[in-house]
Structure 1
Amino acid sequence: MNEQITAAPGAAANSAAAESGWRNELKATFTLAWPLVVAQLAQTALTTTDVIMLGWLGPSYLAAGTLANTFLMPFLVGGMGIVGAVAPLVAQARGARDIKAVRRIVRQGCWAAIILALCVVPIILQIRPIFGLLRQDPAATIMAEQFIQVGAWMLFPALILVAFRSLLSAYAKTRIILLVTVGGVLFNAAANYALIFGNFGFPRLELRGAALATVLTNVLMLTALATYVLRHPQFRRFHVLNRFWKPDWPRFRQIFRIGTPIGLTVVSEVGLFTAAALLMGQLGTDEVAAHAIALQCASMAFMVPLGLGTAATVRVGLAYGQNDPQGIHRAGWTAFVLGTGFMALSCIAFLTLAPFIVRLFLDPTHAENANALLLAASFLTIAGIFQLVDGAQVVAAHALRGMSDTKVPMLLAIVGYWIVGLPTAYALGFMLGWRGVGIWTGLAAGLAFVAVVLVTRFALRERLGLLPRALA
């Protein structure tokens, strides 16, 4: 009896401590995540602005811009994934109180960004022969090349920007990321309006104008964040750019060892949507334009769990560096609940408001837009169905990255997207004659597979030996 009496207060104290731990984690995750979420939405607004303004020029310009961005995106996000290894590595170093490692990781992240851009820009500039092999429409290819000839150079500032964003995210300085990104959106909108249409005395550059605006916007955002890091007292002590050309090969290899699987994971997903756009290109210009609209809307919603996923990487990484298994547990599942909860709301919005949403992108009063609008609404309805699994897979993947678990998730993603998703899309779209609806259904199948396996992997992290070695 006495044992029961003394045990009861202890159990109550443990329960209160656990509840307090969850509350604190929710607060910390939300405080870290909400500027990242808004910044991710603002980042997507950069592309959305391009899509909307090119749509004002007509469906052919919208289709060409979409093909160009679709071709560029795997190279961009792949590089961002590799350089993005800076975030979990800095978070782990911060959790372990290894200040010297922080400086070296960020510096070598910048190295990785420059080297990656030098390697891929020459490939991107070969869009015309590559699209010729892929049997894309010659007229659309020529127009897309106009965008790529300028837009390819945005990789240099965009990838270096990731290293600075990762440092700031790992130290929970996310509001400056938000402010700089919002400023970039406003600048991009003004630059697009001036350079695409020839307003304010600027030449009318159309597709090249949209690309030039994107390059200038990334240069501006990089300059702003780099200046903040170099002058802020908390980060000035790292001396990120001092002796910049001094190599740190162990850190450099570590970034590629952790980041390459991340980059390939992201590329496998983006590549699935790239392949879907190329399949749409075989169906017609209206299908490509409709795909662009639906994908842009889905991407906007996706930015919320993506921002929460970035927060999960940082929070899990901090707990990992501190050898705190309960912290890892709370950080991962808190972000998961928040991410899937939001995607449930976006699912409802897409299912009920699809015809109204797509009218923001093409003028419904023009008869030539009628078919593209109808197709876009049907694609967006399917996008609403896979919102939940899309949010689940991205948060789970980021939580695993916080533990430096990237290789197996990469393999699972490749299987899900390219062995499950793409064949399903092709079979439904072309063999069964579902056309664009079948392609989008295949996308949903691939995302669902990846969501199930990655969430399961995080749930079984202890059995799979993913915890820090000190706790294994």
Structure 2
Amino acid sequence: MTQVMTYGGHVRAVTRLGLPLVGGHLAQFAIGLTDTVMLGWYGVEALAAVTLAGSYFFVLFLLGAGFGWAVMPMVAAASAEDDETSVRRATRMGLWLSLFFSVLVMPMMIWSEPILLSLGQTETVAALAAEYLTVAGWGIFPALLVVVMKSYLAALERTQVVLWITVIAAFANAAVNYGLIFGNWGLPELGIMGAAIASVVTHALSLVAVVIYGLRVLPEHELFRRFWRPDWEMLAQVFRLGVPIGITSLTEVSLFAASAMMMGWLGAVPLAAHGIAVQLASATFMVHLGLSNAATIRAGNAYGRRDGPHMARGAKVVFVLSLAMSALTIVWFLTGAEGLISLFLEPDDPDRPEILAIGVGLLAIAALFQLVDGAQVVALGLLRGVQDTTVPMVMAALSYWAVGMPASYLLGFTFGLEGIGVWLGLVLGLASAAVMLMIRFWRRVIPTI
């Protein structure tokens, strides 16, 4: 008879899996933050160009990363069934699809300037961003392959190594940036191109580290033996699962990009306050994202064993942990808003009082935002664990674009709530996604397992 795991056992299992994944996401977040800070020191024009180029790269990366993220539930389910052949097949075809996607989008990296100009960017910033992408764009190859390998290792519950490889990459990125952007340690001062080289080096080092670990610790999977041989059946499965995941992630990011555009209509100061509030909300969101990944792995294991009660208990635990984190964040954002926002501002900045005033209001909304954002990303993680991605993609897209976007515009501009209204629209969009996705998981998925 299978032993029933207690709720305490589920808490221990989720935290053991989830905490390293949370740390890994925070380390990845730190990489982007380091780039922003160092290029901000170097020059405003360089910072603007890399902000634009980074957003461009990230959109393409998110689309391709769906294939890597699809590997996680597939490997988790196969591992639960002791099916090492399927573990190898799914991971290998995830690597294949990531390579194919990288080849497909590389021309968009090399010849990005006309695309950026057509999107209304200034000639100077578009030219600098395109120059950056001609080098940094090559990083999409190792970056997407790293997503696959990290998903493979995480699904096998080897999350500690995922954390440490990301932490080492964050330090390496900071060191190479510091050397090549500013010309320190006898290296040439390359400015924005130094940041591009640092980006590629960081992704490449991460790939080397994760591949070496996988080959040495899990040689029985023989991931790269006869790597050239196609497996069309498994490739189709990873493709069908991965495309909706990539599109779902893209639709959520595009909602936040649209909110930034709306805040820009209100002026530079509201946009600056928005940028700070988003950075703070993104940092705390990494905790929910790590819990979502743990939920995917745990649900994938239960799905492989067809153990519905185990999955239901584990899902309740993840939701409660996410809720607890939201409660802590609400207290933090409501009581420490001014101090948090001040970390991003110069003491003598003439716009400081206005940015603080707007930012405090946005962080109050962000406190509410945490509840629904955490709930929807955990629900998505659970649904991915049972390899249900297409309907959740439609639900998320409708929530973000049919609810969130119009609500942001109406509340912000038609009803005159400005920045607060734009953010309330985000809350409504994310709340809609949370409700629909949770209903799907509890009413449609759990009864069938």
CA distance in 1 between counterparts of 2:419 and 2:137 reads: 29
> Which deviations, in whole Å up to 9, do the C-alpha atoms of 1:417-471 show, x marking residues without a partner?
11111122233344445444433332222111111111122121357x653xxxx
Cα distance change on mapping 1:209 and 1:74 into 2, 3 Å: same
CA distance in 1 between counterparts of 2:43 and 2:365 reads: 25
CA contact (8 A) 1:229 1:236 kept: yes
Find the residue that maps to 1:85 and give its secondary structure.
helix
**Which residue is 1:297 aligned to?**
280
The equivalent position to 1:113 in structure 2, one of 92, 98, 111, is 98
> Which deviations, in whole Å up to 9, do the C-alpha atoms of 1:42-87 show, x marking residues without a partner?
1111111112223334555444433332232222122112221100
CA distance in 2 between counterparts of 1:204 and 1:432 reads: 50
Give TM-score scaled by structure 1 length: 0.88
CA contact (8 A) 2:77 2:300 kept: yes
Cα distance change on mapping 1:130 and 1:48 into 2, 3 Å: same
Is 1:418 the counterpart of 2:398 in the alignment? no
CA distance in 2 between counterparts of 1:446 and 1:152 reads: 32
The equivalent position to 1:447 in structure 2, one of 424, 430, 439, is 430
**Which residue is 1:245 aligned to?**
228
Largest Rg, 1 or 2: 1
**Which residue is 1:260 aligned to?**
243
Deviation at 1:282, TM superposition (A): 4.7
**Which residue is 1:145 aligned to?**
130
CA contact (8 A) 1:52 1:361 kept: no
Deviation at 1:126, TM superposition (A): 4.7
AA at the equivalent of 1:198: G
> Which deviations, in whole Å up to 9, do the C-alpha atoms of 1:378-398 show, x marking residues without a partner?
433332220111111001100
Unpaired segments ≥5 residues, structure 2: none
AA at the equivalent of 2:115: I
**Which residue is 2:320 aligned to?**
337
Cα distance change on mapping 1:62 and 1:448 into 2, 3 Å: farther
The equivalent position to 1:133 in structure 2, one of 113, 118, 121, is 118
**Which residue is 2:258 aligned to?**
275
Where does 1:339-358 land on structure 2 (aligned, <5 Å)? 339-358=322-341
**Which residue is 1:154 aligned to?**
139
Greater displacement, 120-129 / 101-110: 120-129
Where does 1:21-420 land on structure 2 (aligned, <5 Å)? 21-57=6-42, 60-232=45-217, 235-367=218-350, 375-420=358-403
CA contact (8 A) 1:136 1:281 kept: no
CA distance in 2 between counterparts of 1:346 and 1:340 reads: 10
Deviation at 1:149, TM superposition (A): 3.2
Unpaired segments ≥5 residues, structure 1: 1-13, 468-472
CA contact (8 A) 1:56 1:362 kept: no
> Which deviations, in whole Å up to 9, do the C-alpha atoms of 1:148-178 show, x marking residues without a partner?
3333222111110011111111111111111
CA distance in 1 between counterparts of 2:181 and 2:357 reads: 27
Cα distance change on mapping 1:307 and 1:289 into 2, 3 Å: same
**Which residue is 1:470 aligned to?**
none
CA contact (8 A) 2:109 2:130 kept: no
CA contact (8 A) 2:285 2:374 kept: yes
CA contact (8 A) 1:59 1:286 kept: no
Cα distance change on mapping 1:145 and 1:291 into 2, 3 Å: farther
CA distance in 2 between counterparts of 1:220 and 1:352 reads: 40
CA contact (8 A) 1:294 1:380 kept: yes
Cα distance change on mapping 1:163 and 1:295 into 2, 3 Å: same
RMSD, aligned α-carbons? 2.4
- Percent identity, aligned pairs only, is 43
Cα distance change on mapping 1:456 and 1:314 into 2, 3 Å: same
Deviation at 1:218, TM superposition (A): 1.2
Deviation at 1:373, TM superposition (A): 5.5
Cα distance change on mapping 1:135 and 1:286 into 2, 3 Å: farther
Cα distance change on mapping 1:270 and 1:388 into 2, 3 Å: same
CA distance in 1 between counterparts of 2:448 and 2:347 reads: 52
Find the residue that maps to 2:227 and give its secondary structure.
coil
Instruction: State the aligned residue count.
Output: 448
Deviation at 1:294, TM superposition (A): 2.2
CA contact (8 A) 1:125 1:152 kept: yes
